[in-house]
């Protein structure tokens, strides 16, 4: 069984990256890592997919780990951006939790190929790169905790255990990338359903 | 960053497998796949870890995919066994859901190294092997659905959407294997906390 070889649905993640050849390399790396995993992929294969020579890849990325780092960083920043945007104009704790979970779930469904690499291939990073990505993950986790705390303090949420609830919410979103396939429920619809489950976890109900 | 190279905490999964050299191969394969992923591992590396020649491996397993299949099958059957055992002597729908989620979560925490291979490396299987494993996954999913349906029909649960709730429960358990590390909350304690969240998803509360 080959892994799913869907190309990235949305390459807007590296619109800022120049030149265009670097963007081509990132997309080729995502495709290659998704097909056989990070460790089984060679820089030569990435170069081939991007229609370049291995030497051309090395002009922009020192190593395969650097490509993985660029992909992981772009992915983490994209989720953070979506979540912050989703929270920008909602006030009630319940509304904010709903928006936050919807955004996280919907991102992992829309970008499932990239999200799998971002969540499951972190072991390929060098130590310092890993620490930088961890900082981004910690920021996302901190947002989840802030929302839970705020809802509890204002008496809107009744939470059994903040750490476990935060972990469960992150887990629900991350795991979507493992099972999601094009043709499943649309990302936004899935996001709304999972947001409803998250509200139940804090003792609120919608529908 | 090397992947975690914890050896399997519990090799009782292949106690039935004979001869002892086959068990050694399975454990060596788990260790190798966990370190660098299925596709990046060679049969020679597995043989080295098991202290055997590649030829000796081929006497028992036709291919690397056959080893992955044996591991995946043992893992899936072990979760099913634990879940069925956990449900054996409980009657109330709430009690049954609690036991079921506890068992699934606790298995994925206790066997996180193996569980990661079992959940994330399925793409390495050949088509027919994949279908056999899918049958086992479907059996587990069917148990989750049965428990949800039963609780809803008897008026104990109030479920927004059975499919989403079942998927979320499976996801919570599977994703534990991704983030769990020795030293985290004990598997049984984590199982109980997650079971509490699952009860909230169906509108029941404990604690």
State the complex-level ipTM: 0.91
- Residue B206: per-residue pLDDT: 59
Test the A interface: residue of B104, B120, B175, B207 with most A CBs within 10 Å: B175
DSSP A185: S
Mean pLDDT of A145-157: 97
Option in A4, A127, A197 nearest B1 (CB): A127
Q: What is the pLDDT of residue A118?
A: 94
What 3-state DSSP class applies to A166? helix
- Is B201 within 8 Å of chain A by CB? yes
Please say whether the beta carbons of A84 and A91 come within 8 A: no
Higher confidence at residue A136 or residue A3? A136
Chain B contact present for A126, CB below 8 A? yes
How much of chain A exceeds pLDDT 70, in percent? 93
Whether the CB of B194 is below 8 Å from some CB of chain A: the reply is yes
Is the pLDDT reported for residue A206 higher than 90?
no
> In whole angstroms, what is the distance from residue B175 CA to residue A108 CA?
14
Looking at every residue in chain A, the average pLDDT score rounds to: 91
Helix (H) / strand (E) element for A10: namely none
pLDDT, residue A5, reads 42
Rounded to the nearest angstrom, the minimum Cα separation between B54 and chain A is 20
Distance of alpha carbon B130 from the chain centroid: 15
Give residue A73's pLDDT.
Answer: 95
Higher model confidence: residue A8 or residue A62? A62
Q: Cα–Cα distance between B5 and B33 in angstroms, integer?
A: 10
- Residue B17 is predicted with a pLDDT of 80
* Contact assignment for A164 to B127 by CB distance below 8 Å: no
Confirm or reject contact between A205 and chain B (CB < 8 A): yes
Q: Which two tokens stand for residue B8?
A: 């399997």
Q: Tell me, what's the pLDDT at A168?
A: 98
Looking at CA atoms only, how far is residue B186 from chain A in angstroms? 13
Of residues B37, B172, B196, nearest to A171 (C-beta): B172
**Closest residue by Cα to residue A82 from A164, A185, A187, A160:** A187
Q: Average pLDDT of A116-124?
A: 93
Cβ of B164 within 8 Å of Cβ of A193? The answer is yes
Q: E strands along B48-149, which residues? A: none
Which residues in chain B come in under a pLDDT of 50?
2, 5-9, 207
Q: Do B164 and A126 touch (CB under 8 A)?
A: no
Report whether B120 contacts B73 (CB < 8 A): no
pTM of the model: 0.92
Q: Is A87 on the interface with B (CB under 8 A)?
A: no
């Amino acid at each position: 069984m080959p892994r799913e070889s869907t190309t990235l649905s949305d390459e807007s993640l590296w619109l800022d990256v120049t030149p265009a050849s670097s963007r081509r390399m990132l997309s080729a790396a995502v495709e290659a890592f998704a097909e056989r995993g990070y460790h089984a992929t060679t820089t030569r294969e990435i170069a081939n997919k991007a229609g370049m020579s291995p030497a051309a890849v090395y002009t922009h990325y020192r190593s395969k780990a650097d490509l993985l780092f660029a992909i992981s960083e772009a992915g983490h920043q994209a989720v953070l951006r979506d979540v912050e945007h989703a929270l920008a104009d909602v006030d009630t704790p319940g509304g904010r939790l709903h928006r936050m979970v919807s955004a996280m779930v919907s991102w992992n469904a829309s970008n499932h190929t990239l999200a799998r690499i971002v969540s499951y291939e972190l072991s390929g990073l060098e130590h310092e790169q890993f620490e930088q990505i961890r900082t981004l993950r910690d920021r996302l986790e901190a947002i989840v905790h802030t929302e839970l705390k705020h809802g509890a303090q204002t008496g809107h949420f009744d939470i059994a255990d903040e750490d476990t609830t935060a972990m469960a919410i992150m887990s629900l979103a991350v795991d979507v990338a493992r099972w999601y396939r094009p043709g499943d429920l649309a990302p936004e619809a899935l996001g709304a359903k999972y947001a409803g489950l998250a509200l139940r976890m804090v003792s609120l109900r919608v529908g």
